[in-house]
Amino acid sequence: MPKSARAAAQSPKENRLLAAMPDADYQALLPMLERVPMPLGQAVYESGGPQGFVYFPTSSIVSLLYVLADGATAEIAVTGNDGLVGIALFMGGETTPSRAVVQSAGNGYRLRASVLKKEFERGGALQHLLLRYTQALITQMTQTAVCNRHHSVDQQLCRWLLLTLDRLPGNQLVMTQELIANMLGVRREGVTEAAGKLQEAGLIEYSRGKITVVDRERLEKRVCECYAVVKREYDRLLPSLAEVEALNT
């Protein structure tokens, strides 16, 4: 790959929030954005722990998890190239009872908390963009709670697959059934059965920890309403990929 192409592929503007920032705000932050690897299983922050940085994933995906006293976990939201990890830093809470763990390895950019807070407190377009993202994230959290309470494991798995795929460039996930079960807060046997049904129906292929979605259209027809609720709110509140690309041409 030519050097110029590699540079473009590693641009902070792979993250849609950074790409959607007004140019003056983006240029002010650019020298302080640090590209970092985000390996599978990395804890970006722990429950109640200090958060020295905010993270903007580009090719990675981060799960926001609640961990119970007995060690059981459940995912409350997922963040990828659509947003950032660390909203508590500019919402005034500083810490959060959830933990953030990389569920799909890749890269991202991090920014010191003090820098982001200073820029946020200036107000204007950047503040509005971050607040709209926060509202979209809250919608995802609340809809996840509803879905986990009222819908089948099959439907939860479909929702989870689609939300994850929306934040990846391809149609393949590297994910074990045990990890998916931990994300959904269900038994591994339930995920095995649900994944088997989707594979038998020709919607996915699953082998050796790799899930490939082969018929997204039918997967979207099978999923519960929760996926569409979340997607509509993200589309309403945040610039679309096409709009972001238009801003940068």
Q: Determine the structural domain holding residue 73 and report its residue range.
A: 1-128
The domain that contains 83 carries what CATH number?
A: 2.60.120.10
CA neighbor of 49 nearest in space, from 110, 119, 113: 113
Is 164 a member of any domain?
no
pLDDT digits (tens, 9 = 90+) for 135-160: 999 999 998 888 888 888 888 888 88
Q: What are 53-109's pLDDT values in tens digits?
A: 999 999 999 998 888 777 777 788 899 999 999 988 888 877 777 889 998 889 999
Q: Is residue 236 part of a domain?
A: no
pLDDT at 5: 42
Specify if 120 maps to a domain: yes
pLDDT tens digits, 187-228: 777 777 888 888 888 888 888 778 888 888 898 988 888 889
Look at 15-29, 94-108, 177-191 and tell me which has the smallest mean pLDDT: 177-191
Does residue 11 lie within any of the structural domains?
A: yes
pLDDT of residue 80: 92
Write down the pLDDT at residue 144: 87
Q: Which residue has the tokens 């929760």?
A: 226
Are 40 and 57 contacting, i.e. CB atoms less than 8 angstroms apart? no
**For the residues of the chain, what is the DSSP string, one character each?**
--HHHHHHHT-GGGSHHHHHS-HHHHHHHGGG-EEEEE-TT-EEE-TT----EEEEESS-EEEEEEE-TTS-EEEEEEESTTS-B-THHHHT----SSEEEEEE-EEEEEEEHHHHHHHHHT-SHHHHHHHHHHHHHHHHHHHHHHHHHHS-HHHHHHHHHHHHHTTSSSSEEE--HHHHHHHHTS-HHHHHHHHHHHHHTTSEEEETTEEEES-HHHHHHHS-HHHHHHHHHHHHHS--HHHHHHHT-
CB-count burial class (<10 Å; 0-12, 13-18, 19+) for 162: buried
pLDDT at 186 exceeding the cut of 80:
no
Between 36 and 189, residue with greater pLDDT: 36
Domain membership flag for residue 102: yes
pLDDT at 241 over 50: yes
> In this structure, is residue 119 part of a structural domain?
yes
The pLDDT of 2-6, averaged and rounded, is 43
pLDDT of residue 248: 55
Supply the pLDDT for residue 157.
85
* pLDDT value of residue 243: 61
Structural domain includes residue 122: yes
Greater confidence (52 vs 177) lies with 52
pLDDT at 121 over 70: yes
> What percentage of the chain has pLDDT greater than the value 70?
90
Indicate whether 13 belongs to any domain.
yes
In total, how many domains does the chain have?
A: 1
* Whole-angstrom distance, CA of residue 154 vs CA of residue 191: 8
